[in-house]
């Protein structure tokens, strides 16, 4: 059994939880064990699309030092650099299988909607500091 609901305010949330109890009670009385998880809403598709537009701008407009040379990074690599900086570069560095290094634990997909918005603000501020011109997305209808 899997049951997903979205709550937007306290009144609606109270009703949702009351109905959830009605669904869960028979299962619990029958001896089943259940897990209920509440989490913040995840980022939306508009936020995600904007991030990739902005990462592309970094990729096209800025070079970055890699192994002693200034190179253009791919958008995915900029995502790694920027998310590490956003997290104040507190991620763990692990030895790779072939002697290189791998940054562990930085996943924007794990960010809630609010934290992802803060990350986008950080990307925008970093772009301004580095002279990267960012485009805005047209709102979807």
Query: What tens digit of pLDDT does each residue of 5-41 get?
Result: 788 889 999 999 999 899 899 999 999 999 988 888 8
Domain count within the chain: 2
Whether 138 has a pLDDT exceeding 70, the answer reads no
Asked if the structure places residue 99 within a domain, the reply is: yes
- What does the radius of gyration of the chain's CA atoms come to, in whole angstroms? 21
56 and 17 share a domain?
no
33 torsion bin: left (phi>0), alpha (psi -120 to 50), beta (else): beta
How much is the pLDDT for 52? 95
Residues 109 and 56 in one domain: yes
- Has residue 112 been placed in a domain? yes
Instruction: Give yes or no: residues 99 and 64 share one domain.
Output: yes
Q: What is the pLDDT of residue 110?
A: 84
What does the alpha-carbon distance between residue 132 and residue 120 come to, in Å, rounded to a whole number? 14
Same domain, 74 and 113: yes
Q: Are residue 53 and residue 89 in the same domain, yes or no?
A: yes
Same domain for 15 and 59, yes or no, is no
**Are residues 123 and 79 part of one domain?**
yes
Average pLDDT of the chain to the nearest whole number = 88
Q: Are 71 and 64 in contact (CB under 8 A)?
A: yes
Q: Are residues 83 and 102 in the same domain?
A: yes
pLDDT exceeds 80 at position 4: no
Question: Pick the residue with more confidence: 86 or 42?
Answer: 86
**What pLDDT, on a 0 to 100 scale, did the predictor assign at position 141?**
45
Instruction: Quote the domain boundaries for residue 76.
Output: 45-130
CA distance 89 to 76: 17
The answer to whether position 136 is within a domain reads: no
The alpha carbon of 91 is separated from its chain's Cα centroid by a whole number of angstroms, namely 15
CATH at residue 56: 1.10.3790.10
Per the domain annotation, does 65 fall within a domain?
yes
Query: Is 140 domain-assigned?
Result: no
Phi then psi for 94, rounded to 5 degrees?
Answer: -115, 150
């Amino acid at each position: 059994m899997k049951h997903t609901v979205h709550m937007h305010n306290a009144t609606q949330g109270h009703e949702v939880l009351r109905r959830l109890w009605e669904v869960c009670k028979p299962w619990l009385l029958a001896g089943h064990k259940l897990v209920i998880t509440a989490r913040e809403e995840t980022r939306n598709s508009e936020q995600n699309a904007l991030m990739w537009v902005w990462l592309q701008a970094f990729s096209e407009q800025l070079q970055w030092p890699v192994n002693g040379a200034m190179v253009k990074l791919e958008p995915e690599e900029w995502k790694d650099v920027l998310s590490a900086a956003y997290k104040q570069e507190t991620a763990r560095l692990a030895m790779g299988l072939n002697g290189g290094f791998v940054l562990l634990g930085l996943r924007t997909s794990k960010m809630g909607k609010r934290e992802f918005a803060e990350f986008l603000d950080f990307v925008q501020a970093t772009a301004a500091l580095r002279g990267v011109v960012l485009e805005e997305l047209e709102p979807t209808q």
